[in-house]
Structure 1
Amino acid sequence: MPSVEQQFLHELDEKLWKAADKLRNNLDAANYKHVVLGLIFLKYVSDAFEERQRELLELFKNDADDNIYSLPREDFDSDAEYEQALNDELEILDYYREANVFWVPKESRWSTLKEKAALPTGSVLWQNSKGEDVRLRSVGWLIDNALEAIEKSNDKLKGVLEGISRFQVDNDKLIGLINSFSDTSFTQPTLDGEPLSLRSKDILGHVYEYFLGQFALAEGKQGGQYYTPKSIVSLIVEMLEPYKGRVYDPAMGSGGFFVSSDKFIEEHAREHHYDPAEQKKHVSIYGQESNPTTWRLAAMNMAIRGIDFNFGKKNADSFLDDQHPDLRADFVMANPPFNVKDWWHQSLAEDVRWQYGTPPKGNANFAWLQHMLHHLAPVGSMALLLANGSMSSNSGGEGEIRRRLVEQDLVECIVALPGQLFTNTQIPACIWFLTRDKTGGLSPNGVEKRRRKGEVLFIDARQQGYMRDRVLRDFTREDIARISDTFHTWQRTDAFENVPGFCASKDLAAIEKHDFVLTPGRYVGAAAQEEDDEPFADKMARLTAQLKDQFEESDRLEAEIKRNLGGLGYGI
């Protein structure tokens, strides 16, 4: 039975998606996501800003001696003067920055947007700094103006917020979207009159994530470039546990790994009675993305959740224009596009990153892996989603690179995944976990690990999960827990035991016997069959008697059919 919070979010998803989906008559999925996500972003920052305004107003009116924000009424000659002072104080930018809330100029606030969008084209909106009338050109222009004003007021968003007027969406459709988004209390949500324990950040973050998934489905193959299935992201984050240190994703898409890490940190903090906000101060986020649209989506995704980030100065190719050349991260995780063929450039021929062999020019899989290793700190850990071919291919020198990785004892764990997990590809996938240090001791997040020199864990998870619909498979929370618990037990304790058909720990000599092929199925064996304690003679007698009874029943049914057919005049 879903909770009231889950029911609220489900109903909200359907309502907002239904409103947004009306744009599909005018725009394809690749474009209308910018319109919708731009409005979601405006709604969120405006709601968060107004929520902070309400908090400040209460603080200003509270005349307690220890309240540094207090603005006593007795200091003013009249109510009008007092009200004006309160309003002036609410417009001081530093009050919002100190609470990690984006400053939203008046022309960008949702109430302004809703009010002005309903006016006829050409209406006077306000006067600019020169005292000139600013008139409404279109609703798209009004939204662009709101986004641009937020960018100018927040350094982190410079060059991030794209305008929507270029898509030339009808005013009426945009007004409909604004009204649909307005018709929900994001800061004080209720369901059937019941107040819900959901913050504006939680609701808008959820909606944003839901929309990204829906856009990925709508766009098909192209949409997957910015969306990794939530269950796979959760699995990797729970296995790595990146709740302290530098976290890096060189193919970040819309930032799914960072969002999941942020949620993991909050859960971990609550579980151990830490302050989540304090815990997050110990994490630094670094990312890179080549696609300009996706780079902006990621920045918006972080801003919506109040996550501090460094995504470089611009969108850029991780191989040709590394935005973090000196970074050595404690945790590196990525889902780069599989089997990319056109990645190579002659300038990469003698690149310092190819420590274990130059990757083939026609496949970037081992280029991504070595790029990530290059950015990995001496005691760091990394996880990389790759096509299954990476575990066994020998073409273009891949087999030689894989051999060197194993011989250098960098491979920690290989997880084989079930098919049909991705919206954009049917290519079977696996997860590589690598580390530079298997000697044991404290990891960057403070977890004690045992000595694992010369050992590799193989997990065959191809039978895990369930079919969410006719096309897509998904993991349950139990599936994720089983895989991550297996990894942590092997990594940290001496209590690990091989489970036939699921997991096995092997030494490097065993891997060498298989010519350095890393497919888990070769190492975990077949699943154990249930024990059969029935003696063979008794079992044979029982089965023979069963067969005799079945033959007799067959003869009886055949005779019955012949009698019935004979009665109908058919000669048998």
Structure 2
Amino acid sequence: MKSTEQQFLKELDDKLWKAADKLRANLDAANYKHVVLGLIFLKYVSDAFEERQEELLELFQSDREDNIYFLPREDYDSDEEYQQALDEELELLDYYREANVFWVPKAARWSTLKKKAVLPVGTVLWQDDAGKDVKLRSVSWLIDNALEEIEKSNAKLKGILNRISQYQLENDKLIGLINTFSDTSFTKPVYGGQKLQLHSKDILGHVYEYFLGQFALAEGKQGGQYYTPKSIVTLIVEMLQPYSGRVYDPAMGSGGFFVSSDKFIEEHAREQHYDASEQKKHISVYGQESNPTTWKLAAMNMAIRGIDFNFGKKNADTFLDDQHPDLRADFVMANPPFNMKDWWSESLSEDSRWKYGTPPKGNANFAWVQHMIHHMAPTGSMALLLANGSMSSNTNNEGEIRKRLVEEDLVECMVALPGQLFTNTQIPACIWFLTKDKANGLVLSEQKRDRSGHFLFIDARNLGYMRDRVLRDFTPEDIAKITDTLHAWQHGEGYEDIPGYCKSASLDEIKKHDFVLTPGRYVGAQEQEDDGEPFADKMARLTGQLKKQFAESDRLEAEIKRNLGGLGYEL
């Protein structure tokens, strides 16, 4: 993205967040996110609808030979009749469905919302289908009515859009938010006197993602249930490279992995000079989420970005009510709750997913691993964020399950991550990369080498930077370093072991470590630069320095005691 576009988005983020954050005096973050994200969604569908209307109007009036939409002026007796015909055509639903644009009824359009919100309560807005007057009750009611109208007209959004009247916000606060969004150019934006190459979907998708991150920070531990840090999501997607096929996340939160996969395809298309929209037709996304609120956030996130999705019939527990029992995905990725305790049910005791051993009832880590393996296609790969304990624990059958995963050659790469990456936990984490076809015998299009019996370990604990006093983050260079290391190893081109960072190990080496998969055990210590001083000389010099420092410490301690004694203190 160009620097001008980045600056535009940064200033837009700041402006919109400051406007939204004014609601914090009335609502906590867990609630006011629904108000703000609901308005972002309404703005998006309305902008997309208006963009399609502009395209259609141009098509209706263009007499190009190949234009099937053309409405000739000469077919009508007057300009008024022609204009009426154009207006009627613009209201035909099929024109929007064919372009994968949500149909937005007049009552739900942003222009209606902005115009009607400032009217006095009790004003007649329109007449319903029965001919009765519909009066303005409140601005929150007006917004809820718009959300309801969109759901009625778009079956895929049924039950998805969260109503806001329950939060009892004052009209003037909502009008302020509506005006802020109205004052912002999401279509054909201009910054610094130049037109930007950003579409409404790009801008509002970015804003939605930014707000999710800000709300997660504001909510702390609770926010981490639906938001995985952007850099971690990007890292996993870049390592897996989901160009085409079925992508599945069994603990999807707000759908961050799907968004990042979509961006990855667009970036790859730019580099390879082909049509990203065509490539996206070869990707399908499947997700599951138990929290009903988060399930709705994810669906809205996909809708804003125009990503087709299948999140099951409802929010549901992944282990007890699998919404995709027959799915075999090409790419599986997830950031489930670490060390989840309350997950077990006796109905799971003989479950077919526990192919490598029954997971302990008090920790779901290896339940997630095996659930994801179960849903992998024969050529599939997966990436899973787990607590570090999963790499070494031997309690309650975990060690045996890990041993079988290694012996059956499913484990491909282990990445140890630095601490303080997550808003909701300080538990150190790692990434498990598994695949069913390390021999690369089934995927002819991918020129990976046969990695059978070999395992890559990456220790990334020293990478990243402190974004603030609490949170650490990865730079794009950190992500590229880890990604390039894995791909070089997979392809057998340009990879080499680096002490303290990465190591390609054999099955025998892992056996020597009792099937513990902690990268630090394999990569060893980082090489120290040789300063040319012989070891014996350096040791003598440092020992001498230490003796002098001890002597100085004793002298200072005696001086302090003498001074305190002079002041009448007994030591």
TM-score of the superposition, structure 1-length normalised? 0.93
Aligned to 1:570: none
Matched residue type, 2:218? A
Deviations 1:210-253 (A, max 9, x none): 00000000001001100000000000000000111010000000
Amino acid at match of 1:314: K
Distance 1:535 1:344, change over 3 A: closer
User: Could you say which residue in structure 2 is the equivalent of 1:465?
Assistant: 464
One-letter identity of the residue aligned with 2:485: T
Aligned partners of 1:246, 1:503: CA distance in 2, in Å? 30
User: How much does 1:468 deviate?
Assistant: 1.1
Supply the distance in 2 between the matched residues of 1:327 and 1:388 (Cα, whole angstroms): 29
2:216 corresponding residue in structure 1: 216
Q: SS where residue 373 of structure 1 aligns?
A: helix
Residue 506 (structure 1) aligns with: 505
Shift of residue 443 of structure 1? 3.7
Correspondences of 1:159-558 after superposition (within 5 Å): 159-441=159-441, 443=443, 446-493=445-492, 495-533=494-532
Is the 8 Å Cα contact of residues 442 and 449 (structure 1) preserved in structure 2? no
Q: Distance in 1 between matches of 2:478 and 2:291?
A: 33
What residue identity is the alignment partner of 1:281? K
Distance 1:540 1:112, change over 3 A: closer
Q: CA deviation at 1:192?
A: 3.2
The 1-side partners of 2:325 and 2:128 are apart by 43
Task: Please give the alpha-carbon distance, in whole angstroms, between the structure 1 residues aligned to 2:24 and 2:326.
Answer: 44
Deviation for aligned residue 1:534: 5.4
Q: Counterpart in 1 of 2:560?
A: none
Measure the CA separation in 2 of the matches of 1:328 and 1:299: 22
- Deviation, 1:191, is 1.8
2:302 alignment partner AA: M
Deviations 1:297-330 (A, max 9, x none): 0000000000000000000000000000000001
CA distance in 2, matches of 1:137, 1:193: 42
SS at match of 2:309: coil
Once the two structures are TM-superposed, the CA of residue 69 in structure 1 deviates from its matched residue by 1.1
Displacement of 1:495: 3.8
Which secondary structure does the structure 2 equivalent of 1:448 belong to? coil
Determine helix, strand or coil for the equivalent of 2:396. helix
Match of 1:55 in 2: 55
Distance 1:60 1:466 in 2: 54
In the alignment, which residue of structure 2 is the partner of 1:566? none
Amino acid at match of 2:470: V
Equivalent residue letter for 1:473: R
CA distance in 2, matches of 1:540, 1:499: 26
Distance 1:16 1:495 in 2: 46
SS state at 2:314 partner: coil
Aligned in 2, Cα 1:533/1:149: closer, same or farther, shift over 3 Å?
Answer: same
Does the aligned pair in 2 maintain the 1:441–1:449 contact within 8 Å? no
1:460/1:503 contact within 8 Å kept: yes
Partners of 1:79 and 1:293 in 2: CA distance:
50
1:341-400 CA distance string (max 9 Å, x none): 101111111111011111111111111111001101111000000000000111211111
Cα distance in 1 for residues equivalent to 2:383 and 2:270:
25
Q: Distance in 1 between matches of 2:535 and 2:310?
A: 68
CA distance in 1, matches of 2:250, 2:347: 19
Match for 2:213: what amino acid? G
Compared CA separation, residues 531 and 149, structure 1 to 2 (3 A): same
* CA-CA distance at 1:500 after TM superposition: 0.4
1:6 paired residue number: 6
Shift of the alpha carbon at 1:442? Answer: 5.7
Q: Secondary structure at the match of 1:515?
A: coil
Answer whether contact 1:288 1:318 (CA < 8 A) is retained: yes
Quick one: structure 1 residues 82 and 492, their matched pair in 2 at CA, closer, same or farther if it must change by over 3 Å?
same
**Cα distance, 1:22–1:262 mapped onto 2, change above 3 Å:** same
Match of 2:97 in 1: 97
Query: 1:124 Cα shift?
Result: 0.6
Unaligned runs of 5+ in 2: 553-571
Give the partner amino acid of 1:472: L
Distance in structure 2 (CA, Å) of the matches to 1:257 and 1:345: 28
Write the distance in 2 (CA, Å) between the matches of 1:177 and 1:171: 10
Letter of the aligned partner of 1:47 in structure 2? D
> Alignment partner of 2:320: what SS?
coil
Within the alignment, does 1:64 sit opposite 2:64 as a pair? yes
- Contact 1:410 1:435 survives alignment (8 Å): yes
* Secondary structure, aligned partner of 1:179: helix
Shift in CA distance, 535/5, structure 1 to aligned 2, threshold 3 Å: same
Would you say the 8 A contact 1:380–1:443 is kept in 2?
no
Corresponding residue number in structure 2 for 1:558: none
Q: TM-score, normalising length from structure 2?
A: 0.93
CA distance in 1, matches of 2:493, 2:447: 13
Taking every aligned residue pair, what percent have the same amino acid on both sides?
78
What is the alpha-carbon distance in structure 1 between the residues aligned to residue 17 and residue 316 of structure 2? 31
1:169 maps to amino acid: L
Give the distance between the partners of 2:525 and 2:343, measured in 1 at CA.
Answer: 39
Deviation at 1:494, TM superposition (A): 5.0
Deviations 1:153-204 (A, max 9, x none): 1121111111111111111111111111111110021123322111111110
Partner of 1:16: 16
1:133 and 1:440 map into 2 onto residues whose CA distance is 67
In structure 1, the partner of 2:29 is 29
* Equivalent position amino acid for 1:486 in 2: T
1:568 maps to none
Decide whether the 8 Å contact of 1:160 with 1:299 is kept in 2: yes
SS in 2 for 1:351: coil
- Residues 453-498 of structure 1, C-alpha deviations (whole Å, 9 max, x = no match): 1111000000011111111111111110110110011111154211
Contact 1:441–1:450, Cα closer than 8 Å, also in 2: no
What is the alpha-carbon distance in structure 1 between the residues aligned to residue 267 and residue 367 of structure 2?
34
1:437 deviation in Å? 1.3
Give the direction of change, closer, same or farther, for the CA distance of 1:540–1:462 in structure 2 (3 Å limit).
Answer: closer
- Report the secondary structure of 1:27's partner residue: coil
Q: Aligned letter for 1:512? A: K
Instruction: Report the Cα offset of residue 531 of structure 1.
Output: 2.8
**CA distance in 1: counterparts of 2:160 and 2:524, whole angstroms:** 50
Q: Give the RMSD, CA atoms, in angstroms.
A: 2.1
| Unmatched tracts of structure 1, length 5 or more | 555-572
- SS of 1:449's partner is coil
- d(CA) in 1 for partners of 2:159 and 2:395? 41
